[in-house]
Amino acid sequence: MSLFQLFKNIAPYVKPYRLLVFFTLVLTLIGSFTAQVNAWVLRYTVDQISALLEANQGLKEGMHILVTISVILIGKEILNSFITFGQNFYGEKLRIYVSRDLAQKVIDKILTYKLAFYTSGGNQPGKLQIRIDRGIESITRLVQNFFIDILPLSASAVVALAMMFNANFYVGLVGLCIVPVYFFVSVRQAKRLAGSRRNIRELRENKSQGILGILQSVMVIKSFIREDIESRKQLDLQNSLTAAQLRTRKISFLFDGLKSFIEQIGVVLIIILTAYLVLSGVMTIGAIMFHILLFNNVTAPIRQLHRIYDQMNDALIYSEGFFDILKADDQTEQSGSYISPKITGRFKVQDMNFTYPDNEEPTLHHINMDILPGKITALVGLSGAGKSTLINLLDKFYQPDSGVIYLDGVPLDEYNTSFLRDNIGLVLQKNHIFNGTIEENIMYGNPDATFEEVVHAARQSYIHDQIMALPDRYQTSALALSGGQQQKIAIARMFLKNPPIIFLDEPTASLDAVSTEQIKNSLDAIKKNRTVIIISHSISQIIDSDCIYVMKEGRVVERGTHEALYNMHGTYTEIFDAMARSLNIDKISKTLV
């Protein structure tokens, strides 16, 4: 990304604050003139004092010079402190506002993206997090530097250069010639460093993802005593990062040295030229200092660029990743406009194939299904058969490669996505509990629910009594609950949502036997008159279903009722027998008798 493209991307975010920008620019303009005052004052002082000394006059005659320059310099400093305050404060204000807007925009934007965006390898949480954080930080720093450092200094440089030309054309020319040489070297530097900076960005993203991985799996790491392996993995990343950083610094310092050398050559040329002109009688002696100070103002932004150069290039590299996130419009979730007056929940899947975005091989092959409204349909199959994937497609989280899914006779694509999901309740193997109270977590199912409704939902999912035993009851942090209790909160959320269609993906997998029985009873109650699709490895939940689909390696291989399927002596019989054997039914029945 070039600096021009970067500013084009940032412009919409700066635009709302154009008054702030205008005000800063006015201050910049005034500041660029006040910055030249010292040069004028010095020339005036040297020339006046030289003239007095030549005329053998002293302090008494020169007193008015001291008074004049004191008034001018102090007046200028007072004005300057207001200007500097204004520039710093308004520049910072701009940075904070733009930072807030960018952060909100990126969150709003990624919330509209498809699930595929989050599951693709380049967008793991740690990587996204650092790309967003660093992106916002470096972009807004650039905005601030632009208004506080680069712009005022550049304006001052242009004014100083104009004054040099005005005083003497040749001295002005020397000043002018140095600048393009300097910029040429700077551009070469940027090109040499772009690759290493990108590499550093990638390494930082991997490091962040690595740290997140360690924090999320710390129990597994400790239980396998694999602290050394994890530490070594991080050390490898850290070493690569250090090497890349040192390489970048080395190149930077080499170029910086070259740039300082060019600048000093400019100073030497100005001294020689002005001294020559003074000796030739073309200039007064005060002009030597005058030109050196002006040249100093010309090279000041260049010297400052040493400091802000890194930040600018960081902004260029990090903004690439950031704006890639912000502009991934192809990742936006599609929505139709169809809103049905009443959903009955009849799904028809016709010859559907599906491949995950990062995979080469399809996960689902030629799926045909007819899911009847108001009935319970079970999906049975070994791990990895594609059951959860199928549910993801019915909830429109992913789009099929080919084939069509109909709901009540209308293709799923045509449905308004929010409306569709409002009519589907989803309980997963592992449900997400948000940082907040139990009440807030249950209310996620219906933000408008009253407290009584929350309590009713908690009773239905058999968690109310346990909540009441907690010190802060419904105001206790939900993160403090056990896995099974959290699962019940998720089920309570669904009771509150009360949708006509329910997908249950192993809803009792993390519950104890008593809770499983309680939840089974309450699920039985909620299943009535709704379309339910249940994925389960529990015999009791499967045999209760009206229809069972058996999946194997991404295909539907059998369908029917429990009795019919069992008599086929196929995949279902195999799975069912294995389930029964794993339960040790022989021994259980002997015990129960």
In one-letter notation, the amino acid at residue 32 is S
Residue (of 183, 187, 189) closest to 262 by Cα position: 183
Q: Is 589 in the site for ligand ATP (CB under 6 A)?
A: no
Q: How many residues bind ligand ATP (CB under 6 A)?
A: 13
Work out which of 127, 197, 201, 387 binds ligand ATP, going by CB under 6 A.
387
In this structure, how many other beta carbons lie within 10 angstroms of the beta carbon of residue 323?
Answer: 19
Instruction: Give me the least distance between CB of 220 and ligand ATP, in Å please.
Output: 18
Work out which of 388, 417, 498, 518 binds ligand ATP, going by CB under 6 A.
388
Work out which of 31, 266, 321, 381 binds ligand ATP, going by CB under 6 A.
381
Q: Is 119 in the site for ligand ATP (CB under 6 A)?
A: yes
CB-neighbour burial class of residue 421 (10 A; exposed 0-12, middle 13-18, buried 19+)? middle
| CA trace torsion 431, 437, 441, 443 (10° rounding) | 170
Nearer to ligand ATP, 385 or 494 (CB): 385
Nearer to ligand ATP, 383 or 591 (CB): 383
Tokens of 410: 């209308």
Instruction: Give me the least distance between CB of 428 and ligand ATP, in Å please.
Output: 10
Nearer to ligand ATP, 206 or 389 (CB): 389
Q: Is 358 in the site for ligand ATP (CB under 6 A)?
A: yes
Residue (of 31, 41, 30, 49) closest to 68 by Cα position: 41
Q: Is 359 in the site for ligand ATP (CB under 6 A)?
A: yes
Beta-carbon contacts of 543 under 8 Å, excluding residues fewer than 6 positions away, are 562
**408: DSSP letter:** T
Nearer to ligand ATP, 95 or 387 (CB): 387
* 266 alpha-carbon distance from chain centroid: 45
Give the relative orientation of helices 513-527 and 451-460 as an angle to the nearest 10 degrees. 120
Work out which of 98, 293, 385, 478 binds ligand ATP, going by CB under 6 A.
385
Instruction: Give me the least distance between CB of 384 and ligand ATP, in Å please.
Output: 4
Instruction: Give me the least distance between CB of 506 and ligand ATP, in Å please.
Output: 7
Tokens of 61: 């005659």
Work out which of 138, 296, 363, 516 binds ligand ATP, going by CB under 6 A.
363
d(CA 510, CA 515): 10
Beta-carbon contacts of 288 under 8 Å, excluding residues fewer than 6 positions away, are 271, 274, 275, 278
Instruction: Please say whether the beta carbons of 302 and 210 come within 8 A.
Output: no
Instruction: Give me the least distance between CB of 229 and ligand ATP, in Å please.
Output: 24
Listed ranges 1-9, 75-83, 244-252, 352-360: which one lies at the site for ligand ATP (CB under 6 A): 352-360
Nearer to ligand ATP, 312 or 535 (CB): 535
d(CA 160, CA 152): 12
What totals of helices (H) and strands (E) does the chain contain, helices first?
A: 22, 10
Instruction: Give me the least distance between CB of 405 and ligand ATP, in Å please.
Output: 16
Residue (of 251, 249, 250, 267) closest to 303 by Cα position: 267
Instruction: Give me the least distance between CB of 371 and ligand ATP, in Å please.
Output: 17
Listed ranges 158-166, 387-395, 417-425, 439-447: which one lies at the site for ligand ATP (CB under 6 A): 387-395
Nearer to ligand ATP, 91 or 386 (CB): 386
Listed ranges 54-62, 252-260, 357-365, 447-455: which one lies at the site for ligand ATP (CB under 6 A): 357-365
Q: Is 383 in the site for ligand ATP (CB under 6 A)?
A: yes
Instruction: Give me the least distance between CB of 572 and ligand ATP, in Å please.
Output: 15
Q: Is 386 in the site for ligand ATP (CB under 6 A)?
A: yes
Nearer to ligand ATP, 126 or 381 (CB): 381
Residue (of 122, 256, 260, 127) closest to 193 by Cα position: 256
Nearer to ligand ATP, 195 or 384 (CB): 384
What backbone torsions phi and psi does residue 333 show, to the nearest 5 degrees? -65, 135
Instruction: Give me the least distance between CB of 392 and ligand ATP, in Å please.
Output: 7
Residue (of 201, 79, 92) closest to 146 by Cα position: 92
Beta-carbon contacts of 284 under 8 Å, excluding residues fewer than 6 positions away, are 43, 46, 47, 50, 278
Instruction: Please say whether the beta carbons of 562 and 543 come within 8 A.
Output: yes
Q: What is the chain's alpha carbon radius of gyration, rounded to the nearest angstrom?
A: 36
Q: Is 355 in the site for ligand ATP (CB under 6 A)?
A: no
Instruction: Give me the least distance between CB of 542 and ligand ATP, in Å please.
Output: 13
d(CA 525, CA 529): 10
In this structure, how many other beta carbons lie within 10 angstroms of the beta carbon of residue 481?
Answer: 20
Residue (of 54, 163, 51, 147) closest to 97 by Cα position: 147
Site string for ligand ATP, 307-346 (x = CB under 6 A): ----------------------------------------
Listed ranges 251-259, 337-345, 384-392, 461-469: which one lies at the site for ligand ATP (CB under 6 A): 384-392
Instruction: Give me the least distance between CB of 148 and ligand ATP, in Å please.
Output: 45
Q: Is 356 in the site for ligand ATP (CB under 6 A)?
A: yes
Instruction: Give me the least distance between CB of 347 and ligand ATP, in Å please.
Output: 17
**Looking up tokens 């206790």, which residue turns up?**
476
Instruction: Give me the least distance between CB of 358 and ligand ATP, in Å please.
Output: 6
Q: Is 2 in the site for ligand ATP (CB under 6 A)?
A: no
**Looking up tokens 């693709």, which residue turns up?**
120
Q: Is 384 in the site for ligand ATP (CB under 6 A)?
A: yes
Listed ranges 181-189, 382-390, 469-477, 487-495: which one lies at the site for ligand ATP (CB under 6 A): 382-390
Contact positions vs ligand ATP (CB under 6 A): 119, 356, 358-359, 363, 381, 383-389
